[in-house]
Amino acid sequence: MAHVSVLLNEVLSAIHPQPGQFIVDATAGGGGHAKAIAERVKPGGKVLAIDWDAQELGELKDELRREGYDNVILAHGNFKNLSEIARKNNFPAPHAVLFDLGFSFWHIERASRGFTFQKDEPLDMRYDPTDATRPTAEQIINSASKEELAGILREYGEEYSARRIAEAIAEYRKKAMIKTTGQLAEIITKVKYRRGRAHPATKTFQALRIAVNEEFENIRHGLRSAQGAARPGAKIAVITFHSLEDRIVKNIFRDWQKDNFGKVLTKKVIKPTREELISNPRSRSAKLRVFQLL
């Protein structure tokens, strides 16, 4: 199954790319949004597509070459440094910036870095595995205290069983290191019962991924960087996938409006249509918010 870009039509409608414009896709991923935007900014326009994962970016580079997209510039980096990345690539002040904060289907199916509990993989969870300064999920799981683990699960996963899970992890560590997703998922399922459709380990895996990659700080820095890089009148569009990151974006946009940096264009958040939910069930939690700078 290929990665399907979420809220694609809604994004195109919101940022309204035009021939000759320069637009940043801060989260290139599988390239769906970048390609659609690239088609619409021809002739004369360009897309700067940024991704933190060099391996996924390499695959996208090959795909773009095969399909003849010559107006997409690829850049490896963390979007928190968006302004610096644009400057290094001599990219003009953008007319729009897009952030799609969902991790791609590629990371679940092919990265083999522990993003999913559906396979038994090493507990890495770094988007950039070349970054030796960033701790892996395995290091956090095996070195953090019970209290620290419970705090991570509560803050980044809103996990109601945080303490019970943290205690189970600490108890298991007395016998052996926790190295794989299979081990961790099994520990969790023994102390937390399934409620509804979600797997008992879902929130723990989310919390660890966010902690490993410092995702919330990246969002805050990335939006500020986009604001500084963009031209007057530019639109900044953000797709979120859970309430915690959506709250961050909503509050930043509200504060920008209060400080007269521009206006929120999405008084009511944009969600997938019924048709999209049927064709792509993974889109069910997606929300799009858009801000226009003065």
44 is in an annotated binding site: no
Q: Is 79 annotated as a binding residue?
A: yes
User: Is 20 marked as binding a ligand?
Assistant: no
Mean pLDDT of 48-68: 95
Q: 271: which 2 tokens?
A: 């969600």
Q: What is the pLDDT of residue 82?
A: 99
- Tokens of residue 25, six digits: 């896709």
pLDDT digits (tens, 9 = 90+) for 122-145: 999 999 988 888 999 999 999 999
| 272 pLDDT higher than 60 | yes
Q: What is the per-residue pLDDT for 106?
A: 62
Which of the listed CATH numbers 1.10.3720.10, 3.40.50.150, 2.70.50.60, 1.10.510.10 matches domain 8-107+215-293?
A: 3.40.50.150
Q: What is the pLDDT of residues 59-108, one digit of tens each?
A: 999 999 999 999 999 999 999 999 999 999 999 999 999 999 987 766 67
Q: Where are the domains of the chain?
A: 8-107+215-293, 135-212
Give pLDDT, residue 283. 92
Torsion angle in degrees (nearest 10) through CA of 17, 18, 23, 26? 20
The span from the CA of 108 to the CA of 117, in Å, is 9
Q: Confirm whether residue 100 is marked as ligand binding.
A: yes
pLDDT of residue 1: 43
* Alpha-carbon gap, residue 56 to 44, rounded angstroms: 27
* Annotated binding residue 32: yes
Superfamily name with CATH number, domain 135-212: Putative methyltransferase TM0872, insert domain (1.10.150.170)
Give pLDDT, residue 111.
58
33 in a labelled binding site: yes
| Contact by Cβ (8 Å): 288, 237 | yes
- What is the residue-averaged pLDDT of the chain? 95
pLDDT at 64: 97
262 in a labelled binding site? no
